Amino acid sequence: MIEKSFYGKTAGGEDVFLYRITNHPGSCVDLLTYGATVDRICVPDKNGDLADILIGFDDIEGHETRSNYQGQTVGRYANRIENGIFSIDGVEYKLTQNEKGKTCLHGGGELSHSVWKAIITDDNAVEMSYSSPDGAQGFPGNVDFRVIFTFSDRNELKIDYSAKTDKKTVINLTNHAYFNLDGEGSGDILGTELKIDADRFTPTDADSIPTGELKDVAGTAFDFREPKPIGRDIGADDEQLKMCKGYDHNFCLNEGDGPAVTAYSPLSGRAMDVYTDLVGVQLYTGNFLDGSRAGKGGKPIEKHAGFCLETQFYPNTPNTPSFPQCTVEAGGKFESTTMFKFYIRK
């Protein structure tokens, strides 16, 4: 069942709507047309109690003025492009440098801070669309984006991304949900256990740009091949962790049919499997959240209040030929699917 309701007006006067998908067991997902945002995910814990497991905001003003991309669709190019510059076929493109006046982060925020059109396509699916003009944030091509959100009776949230372009360009889309499997506002996520199916990760420089190396996780704090609490090694004597004040790194996913990531909270019993057809996932542990911004219920969003698992192509791919590329030809199409499966582990 899907219910549509008015959520609010942006500062620019655009109407924003909320779509709530409720499945037969009673779990629900809230979607906003602002930023094609996953606003809430309410699923049961080991006692059968429903709770919202996403960090975010209660109103449009919060999403517009206090957000660190909480729940938003991110692109044209998710993550970072070094110095906001890349080239295609010898043509250099200069992008919005919206992080420290240097890097282009999350495509300059265009998709995340725009109002999308939405239609209900099934009793459990909503399709959102947005058209970005040639030259937006410096990127080439008129690009039509579509994201379909489907929430099943098995508590599976599937996100299908697609984009069509009329000019050769780069496209890398993800969702920036901040998860807390104990429930929003319940404390930090350092006790949550993670397993990441990745033998390697991409170390970064001081600007969080990959150095180009694919480093083995074996013997490092980045080894999540067996489940371990997020907080076990987050304070390790590792320059990569010190620079980012925790994890904010891309993991190079192994090929296979199983989940790319599994997260589990021993406290609530909630577990989450992440499946994707993309080559990487960015683990971010909310290192720069500092309590200065009010979230849901007016509560401050503290450090490590949530963790992100952003399925993606590697950061700065257009400037790193050795990485798997995400260039889309003129007239071509980008397509990708990521699924989050929620369940109870007793």
- CA dist 259 and 262 (Å) reads 7
CA distance 272 to 123: 23
Count Cβ atoms within 10 A of the Cβ of residue 11 and give its class: 0-12 exposed, 13-18 middle, 19 or more buried: exposed
Share of the chain above pLDDT 90, in %: 99
Question: Which one from 82, 106, 127, 176 is the annotated catalytic residue?
Answer: 176
Contact 193, 185 (CB under 8 A): no
pLDDT tens-digit readout, 132-189:
999 999 999 999 999 999 999 999 999 999 999 999 999 999 999 999 999 988 899 9
Return the residue matching tokens 């790194």: 249
Q: Point out which residues pair with 155 in neighbouring strands.
A: none
Going by C-alpha positions, the residue among 104, 28, 93 that lies closest to residue 315 is 104
Largest interatomic CA distance in the chain: 59
Q: How far is CA 183 from CA 40, 41, 42, 56, 265, in A?
A: 11, 10, 9, 12, 10
Q: What's the topology of domain 2-344?
A: Beta-galactosidase; Chain A, domain 5 (2.70.98)
Whose structure tokens read 């209660």?
Answer: 58
First to last CA, the chain: 29
pLDDT-derived band at 204, boundaries 50, 70, 90: very high
| Catalytic residue selected from 82, 184, 302, 310 | 310
User: 35-69: per-residue pLDDT in tens?
Assistant: 999 999 999 999 999 999 999 999 999 999 999 99
Has residue 320 got a pLDDT over 90? yes
Are the CB atoms for 198 and 253 separated by under 8 Å? yes
- pLDDT digit string (tens) for 266-294? 999 999 999 999 999 999 999 999 999 99
pLDDT at 343: 98
pLDDT of 15 above 90: yes
pLDDT at 184: 84
Domains in the chain: boundaries: 2-344
The C-alpha torsion from 171 through 159 and 280 to 98, rounded to 10°, is 50
Question: Is 3 noted as a catalytic residue in this protein?
Answer: no
Q: Which residue has the tokens 């104990």?
A: 182
Q: What is the C-alpha to C-alpha distance for residues 38 and 32, in angstroms, rounded to an integer?
A: 7
Beta bridge partners of 22: 28
Write down the pLDDT at residue 253: 98
**Over residues 310-326, mean pLDDT:** 98
Residue 2's pLDDT is what? 98
314: which DSSP letter? Answer: P
Query: Is a pLDDT exceeding 80 seen at residue 346?
Result: no
pLDDT at 106: 98
64 is catalytic: no
pLDDT in tens, 74-133: 999 999 999 999 999 999 999 999 999 999 999 999 999 999 999 999 999 999 999 999
| Model confidence pTM above 0.95 | yes
Q: What is the pLDDT of residue 105?
A: 98
Cα 162–Cα 211–Cα 289 angle in degrees, nearest 5: 70
pLDDT for the residue numbered 246: 97
| Alpha-carbon span 88 to 81, nearest angstrom | 14
pLDDT in tens, 216-239: 999 999 999 999 999 999 999 999
**Length of the chain in residues, anyone?**
346
- Kindly state the average pLDDT of the residues 304-322: 98
User: What DSSP element (H or E) covers 281?
Assistant: strand 280-284
Give me the long-range contacts of 221-225 (CB less than 8 A, separation at least 24). 222/247, 222/249, 222/251, 224/194, 224/195, 224/196, 224/198, 224/251, 224/283, 225/195, 225/196, 225/197, 225/198, 225/199
